[in-house]
Structure 1
Amino acid sequence: MSHRTRRTPLFSRLPYWLLAILLLFVLGLWAITSDQTYSGIFTTLSGGVLTTLWVTFVAFIAATVLGLLIALARTSNIRVLRELATFYIEIIRGIPILVFLFYIAFVAAPAMVWAFNWTMAPFIDWGWLAPASVRGFDFVWRAIFALTICYSAFIAEIFRAGIEAVGRGQIEAARSLGLSRWHCFRFIVFPQALRTILPPLGNDFVSMVKDSALVSALGVQDITQLGKLSASSSFLFFETYNVVAFLYLTMTISLSLLVRWLERALNRRVRQ
């Protein structure tokens, strides 16, 4: 005799916090589509979404690559590399991101331009290259450079924790079988470390989306900067910053849910 399995509705399986967020999202979307004031503000600020995402994606990819290299130096058997990597991490993590943005934008950028012109002076004199100028160093790239350096220190520690979580016996067994250090890292260490580093790495990406709002201090036309300009010209501070918060929440919560889904999918794959 067959019996029917009782299925629970989708909404009854969702956690209450997610239902509350969905309700806020629906209310925000309804206000933007039905209210002319909110609709105009949303149209003005939507141009900053691409800038925010561009700065975040480029800076995060660069920070991940740099962080992995620093983590490899941090776990190296060569003491000089370990000391230099540790020095880099401790110094960068001890400086607030906003202060570092100003330092890169107004101190390091002019120094880099001067170093480029000094190094390439013969080619500039021969007319093969045009001299670089500080004004030609776009503030968007200064912001990306600053976020890359700042987050690389945090990401390096995430990679280090993941690498050190792999059992030393597995590495020694792989080495005894004749695997080189690179193949040992590629086939033994990194696949196992990835399960450990993926959740905090995803959280850092979400954090960078929020911290990218700091680039507005350099005049970069992101969501926050456009929101400040719009509010100061229209004096609609309440409505403007409601839209700013709505845009950031939409991006960060969507990315957080994606990270949770990837983590669960990876855990299910490991159990199988």
Structure 2
Amino acid sequence: MQKTPELEETPKRENGFHKKFKDIDQWWLLVAIVVLLIILLVTTKPDPYNRILKFVGDGIWVTLYTTLISFALVLVLGLFGGLGRTSHNKIIRGIASVYVEVVRGVPLLVQLIIWYFAFPAMVKDLGHAWNIQAFIDYKANPIVMAILGMTVCYAAYMSEVYRAGIESIPKGQMEAARSLGMTYFQAMGHVILPQAIRVILPPIGNEFVTLLKDSSLVSVVAVADLTRRGREFMAANFIPIQTWMMVALLYLVMTLVAARVVKWLEKHSRYER
């Protein structure tokens, strides 16, 4: 018996709906739940949650822009480190390898303390030794030192990410590019790196999320980020549970949104091998 048009069209409409539903990143639902929870806490219990949110609001922006600036610098410095690690020049490869191994062996917190406390002392000592007044009067900017410390630290990890991505591309790609008359740098910039970046996009996104969370460590070097503002509010009001619950939720929103953006970039830059 011949099927009716209505019965034939119904599965097609369901399949189209399910396809569109599957295309949506369902983890955005978790982001919405966390945001709604924050709104619920702020509206139903304005004291203390609304006071906490207003107090730490400027710390959120400090956390965001220190992380974004640091990560932009990490991408650039890490690229040079990755290229150095894959270089055929033994001196360049040796310098890059020593940098990666030494920096990765020292905790980020210790590096931040070195940049904020030890580095200015070294500059002042050089100023006294060389009689340079500008060095003697040097005062470290907390945000600049924090950005510098996070950049130097995470660029070492990013160098290994770049190295892994470059080495994952078949050697025939470089040989083919060179046979077409490209120089090494032209082949790397036009052939190897565009493919490598697509491969390493997930670990790059993971590094960004990790850096966003580790940015809380800059609170120990006088940077008024979200964590430091939370500590100041808790010290003034003696309500640790509510304070750190709000701070944790704010960090969770930022990390979840960052992870969703990276997932979107990964999806739209994917290619079939």
Q: Which of 211, 216, 230 lines up with 2:233 in the alignment?
A: 230
Tell me: CA distance 1:9–1:54, structure 2 relative to 1, closer, same or farther (3 Å). Answer: same
Tell me: CA distance 1:77–1:12, structure 2 relative to 1, closer, same or farther (3 Å). Answer: closer
Q: Which of 250, 261, 264 lines up with 2:267 in the alignment?
A: 264
Match of 1:169 in 2: 172
Match of 2:42 in 1: 32
Structure 1 Cα separation of the partners of residues 74 and 130 of structure 2: 26
The one-letter amino acid paired with 1:34 is T
Work out whether residues 89 and 154 of structure 1, in 8 Å CA contact, stay in contact via their aligned partners in 2. Answer: yes
Asked if 1:79 is matched to 2:90, the reply is: yes
The within-5 A match list for 1:122-141 is 130-131=134-135, 133-134=137-138, 136-141=139-144
SS at match of 1:220: coil
Structure 1 residues 75-84 or 1-10, which shifts more?
A: 1-10
Q: Count matched residues.
A: 262
Structure 2 Cα separation of the partners of residues 160 and 14 of structure 1: 32
Work out whether residues 109 and 142 of structure 1, in 8 Å CA contact, stay in contact via their aligned partners in 2. Answer: no
The one-letter amino acid paired with 2:46 is Q
TM-score normalised by the chain length of structure 1 = 0.88
Unpaired runs of 5+ residues, structure 1, are: 125-129
Structure 2 Cα separation of the partners of residues 233 and 220 of structure 1: 18
The within-5 A match list for 1:240-255 is 240-255=243-258
Query: 1:142 Cα shift?
Result: 1.0
Structure 1 residues 228-237 or 19-28, which shifts more?
A: 19-28
Query: 1:16 Cα shift?
Result: 7.8
Structure 1 Cα separation of the partners of residues 148 and 116 of structure 2: 9
Work out whether residues 67 and 152 of structure 1, in 8 Å CA contact, stay in contact via their aligned partners in 2. Answer: yes
Q: Which of 48, 71, 74 lines up with 1:63 in the alignment?
A: 74
Asked if 1:183 is matched to 2:186, the reply is: yes
Structure 2 Cα separation of the partners of residues 86 and 154 of structure 1: 11
SS at match of 2:269: helix
Tell me: CA distance 1:247–1:76, structure 2 relative to 1, closer, same or farther (3 Å). Answer: same
TM-score normalised by the chain length of structure 2 = 0.87
CA RMSD of aligned residues (A): 2.5
Work out whether residues 165 and 200 of structure 2, in 8 Å CA contact, stay in contact via their aligned partners in 1. Answer: yes
Match of 1:94 in 2: 105
* Residue identity (%): 34
Unpaired runs of 5+ residues, structure 2, are: none
Query: 1:22 Cα shift?
Result: 3.6
Work out whether residues 62 and 225 of structure 2, in 8 Å CA contact, stay in contact via their aligned partners in 1. Answer: yes
Query: 1:59 Cα shift?
Result: 1.1
SS at match of 2:145: helix
